[in-house]
Structure formats: structure tokens, C-alpha cells
Amino acid sequence: MSKETVATKNAPGAIGPYNQAIKAGGFVFASGQIPIDPATGEMPEGIEAQAEQVFKNVAAILEAAGTSMANAVKTTVFLQNMDDFAAMNLVYARAFEGTEFPARSAVEVAALPKGALLECEVIALL
């Protein structure tokens, strides 16, 4: 089985020794995305704005891989504060609107890169 690196300028570049995503075995494995706007390098304020940016970044990576949010089969959402779950969930529902929702885990973590309020990783079908 072979694997292929996925990269796009429409999502933030990796900030460490990893790739935005890898295609392998009929799947795309997208690395966790934080809410950095790839055009400005800035992070919006507040959970809703950060969630919107995270899911834009995820969608851009999936598109670069030749798939879409509609083909997501599993997501993991990392929240700095579980009190933000309801607000994140509203944005999440819009991001996947019109699709079968993927399986999901959501966990609270002590901290995220660059002080982000959330991060999301995705596995999708090609």
C-alpha cells in the first residue's frame, strides 16, 4: 500500500514535523486543525469564530485531497474547555449540514497549540 502527502495553501501549513494530511488505503487522514486563517496567519477570537475557521481549514484540506466533508467518517474534536461544547456543536452541525454526520469524539484537553480553543482532526473516504 502506498501513501501520498496532501498539502494546500488554503489551510495553515504544518507547524511541526507532520503533514496536513495523508492519503492511504482509500482514506484521507487529516491532521488536527487549529483556527489559523491561512491568508493572515491570525486566529479569530471566541469559540464560534474559531470553530468556523477550523472547519474551513478541514474542508480545504479534504478538497485538496479530492474529497469533501460529506465523505468524513470520523472526527475528533479537542476543546480547551468543555463549556464550549454547545457553541462548537452548532458550528459543527452547519459544517456538516446536508451530509450524514461522521462518528465523533469530543474531549477536553489542558492546552492546544498557539492557545487555540479547539482543534479537529478528520478521517474521510476518498
* Residue 2 CA: distances (Å) to CA of 5, 22, 24, 85, 114: 10, 10, 6, 37, 33
Report residue 16's pLDDT band, with 50, 70 and 90 as the boundaries: confident
Residues 67 and 124: beta-carbon distance below 8 Å: yes
Q: Cα 1–14–61 angle (5° rounding)?
A: 65
pTM of the model: 0.96
pLDDT at 99 over 90: no
Residues 9 and 49: beta-carbon distance below 8 Å: no
As a whole number, mean pLDDT of residues 32-42 equals 97
pLDDT at 23 over 90: yes
Residues 114 and 35: beta-carbon distance below 8 Å: no
The superfamily CATH assigns to domain 3-125 is: RutC-like (3.30.1330.40)
Report residue 1's pLDDT band, with 50, 70 and 90 as the boundaries: confident
As a whole number, mean pLDDT of residues 5-18 equals 93
Antiparallel, parallel or unpaired: β 103-108 and 72-79: parallel
Residue boundaries of the structural domains of the chain: 3-125
Query: According to the model, what pLDDT value does residue 15 have?
Result: 79
Residues 59 and 95: beta-carbon distance below 8 Å: yes
3-class secondary-structure state, position 123: strand
Q: How far apart are CA 85 and CA 67, in angstroms?
A: 27
